[in-house]
Structure 1
Amino acid sequence: METVRSMTGFGRAYYRDENLKLVVLIKSVNAKGLEISVRLPKEVSVYEKDLRSLIKGRVHRGSVSVSVQLEFFKVKPSVKISDLAEIVDEIIASTRRIGLNISDDLTLQLAFKFYNPAVLEENIAESDEFKQLFFSIVDKALSDFIQSKIEEGKNLLNDIEGQLEILEKLLKEVKGKSEILTNRAREKLLTKAREILSQDNSGVVTQELKLLLERLDINEEIQRLESHINLFREELKNGAPIGKKLEFITQEMLREVNTMGNKLPDLFPLNVEMKTAIDKIRQQVANLE
């Protein structure tokens, strides 16, 4: 089970020796799903697919940006006469085969154009040794990144837990007042009903009034809200990734509170406080992976 984490995070890893400097930066912000953006120097662009797979294996949600800085200190070798001579001989042989005779100056210009020490020597970025080094630094940055998400996740959970406790206290207060408020609302409705029935005592009106009286009861909404809170806590125990699940549960919580308020207008002060607590929970949940 993974620890609950924030979608936002930052990680960095650094390596330097006499030949090169390598810096890997990873950061993320909120997103509906998983989005990965990678910026690599051309020397290591071949690693992008593996890098993306590595991130997908450890991150579930958020917009993740990876930036790699690579600098080689070792100066490329100067022109090697032996290598250049081979290219000159090849140019002369090739042009003669097709019946061309070119000047020595043009031959030398072509030789310098085709001569590339970076190609002739082994490219360090393509070696197994460098690849191992590269991904070890990436792994360090990724671990640092994940740890920052975990730390931020702890802060979010503390805030969420605080608002859950407030919501539970408010719900307990609603339960204590629901019978009195329901009876009060029922009396108001019956008073209006008597006035209406004095003018129209048809069966349709009587049936409508009966339904309205039944709908004043908020016990079902209270029970469902309690169930949603319990389910919310269970999901927190299950660990990441839980952001989307908790967003759905929070929506259901708000639905029950709104229904209570619609049924019993006298709940208004408590209803507003409950919606405020749920909204704060929703804001924090939106940051969870």
Structure 2
Amino acid sequence: MIRSMTAFASGERGTPWGVLGCELRSVNHRFLELGLRLSDELRALEPQLRERVSSRIQRGKLDLALRLRTPEGAVALTVNEPLLEQMGVLAQRLEPKFPGLRVEFSQLLQVPGVLQVPVADGEALQVQALELLDQVIDEFVLAREREGAKLAAAISERVDAVERIAGQVRGLIPAIREGQRAKLAARLADLPHPVDPGRAEQELVLWLQKLDVDEELDRLDSHIVEIRRVLGQREPVGRRLDFLLQEFNREANTLGSKSVDARTSAAAVELKVLIDQIREQVQNIE
């Protein structure tokens, strides 16, 4: 099943140190580009996060946010009493040198090490974060596949239309050839001097060969078979589809340039419209 490059997934998980929140979103991009927004407690995880994402996702511009949110009032602050006692002893010893010096309690709390915040268990927190990321990636891939199914349906519908038009053109070719033969014969009949029939027939054959589009139609048929095969694959196929569309476009251009009939010219234009519509869809595929 093909995947879209546009998707979003998120999740949360409670931990003893707060709530872990993870968001993963992506838009179209030629390659894989991952941007990270991490809480300070999780920055050491960056290499592992990049590895896990790249192992599951091949294309797209991704933004991954992984944060630890601590509810207000949930943090139990503690005071380093031994350090305060040492500071008190030091203050008594220095008091004779600095008589009348007074320090507010709030100023003491600003001294590094006096006010202590519980530190999260880094290893345990990282395990929780990676498990949450795996869960979010699973949902993210499913979202890409659901959107990819819609893209595949839209592409298949237009490929069917391309096949119908190619079949119509193939059915017109015998009549167009006969019409060109009759038109040339009429022009030769209007010439003031007779033309050698053998030479006229030879020139007609050469002319019709230049206008022949059987080869282009055969290649178009083979491209249709290939694009349907590719749409059924599970691995990323965006680049492969983009290449196929270049081939589709080449055959449509050649068909238009060789056209000597309004019906095949209109068919060539319609083919190019359909191919452009398919390309718009393919730009969203991983």
Q: TM-score range by the shorter chain?
A: 0.7 to 0.9
| Aligned amino acid, residue 280 of structure 2 | Q
- For residues 191 and 84 of structure 2, what CA distance do their matches in structure 1 show? 107
Which residue matches 1:140? Answer: 135
Q: Does the CA contact (< 8 Å) of 1:21 and 1:70 recur in 2? A: yes
- For residues 234 and 191 of structure 2, what CA distance do their matches in structure 1 show? 56
Which residue matches 1:204? Answer: none
For residue 168 of structure 1, report the CA deviation from its aligned partner.
0.9
Q: How many residues align?
A: 270
Which residue matches 2:283? Answer: 286
| Aligned amino acid, residue 225 of structure 2 | N
For residue 49 of structure 1, report the CA deviation from its aligned partner.
1.6
Percent identical among aligned pairs is 29
In the alignment, structure 1 residue 75 sits paired with structure 2 residue 75: yes
The residue matched to 2:2 in structure 1 has which SS?
Answer: coil
The residue matched to 1:70 in structure 2 has which SS?
Answer: strand
The residue matched to 2:56 in structure 1 has which SS?
Answer: coil
User: Structure 1: any 5+ residue segments left out of the alignment?
Assistant: 202-206
User: Structure 2: any 5+ residue segments left out of the alignment?
Assistant: 197-201
For residue 160 of structure 1, report the CA deviation from its aligned partner.
0.9
Superposition TM-score, scaled by structure 1 size: 0.80
Partner of residue 272 from structure 1, selected from 269, 273, 278: 269
For residue 264 of structure 1, report the CA deviation from its aligned partner.
1.2
Q: Residues 136-285 of structure 1 correspond to what in structure 2 (within 5 A)?
A: 136-185=131-180, 187-188=182-183, 212-266=207-261, 267-285=264-282
For residue 72 of structure 1, report the CA deviation from its aligned partner.
1.9
Superposition TM-score, scaled by structure 2 size: 0.81
The residue matched to 1:138 in structure 2 has which SS?
Answer: helix
Q: Does the CA contact (< 8 Å) of 1:182 and 1:264 recur in 2? A: no
For residue 209 of structure 1, report the CA deviation from its aligned partner.
8.1
The residue matched to 1:44 in structure 2 has which SS?
Answer: helix
Which residue matches 1:66? Answer: 64
- For residues 111 and 183 of structure 1, what CA distance do their matches in structure 2 show? 100
Distance 1:116 1:227, change over 3 A: farther
- For residues 168 and 204 of structure 2, what CA distance do their matches in structure 1 show? 28
Q: Does the CA contact (< 8 Å) of 1:193 and 1:209 recur in 2? A: no
CA deviation digits over 1:195-246, x for unaligned, max 9?
8997xx9xxxxx9987544211101001111111111112222222100110
- For residues 248 and 9 of structure 1, what CA distance do their matches in structure 2 show? 24
For residue 50 of structure 1, report the CA deviation from its aligned partner.
1.1
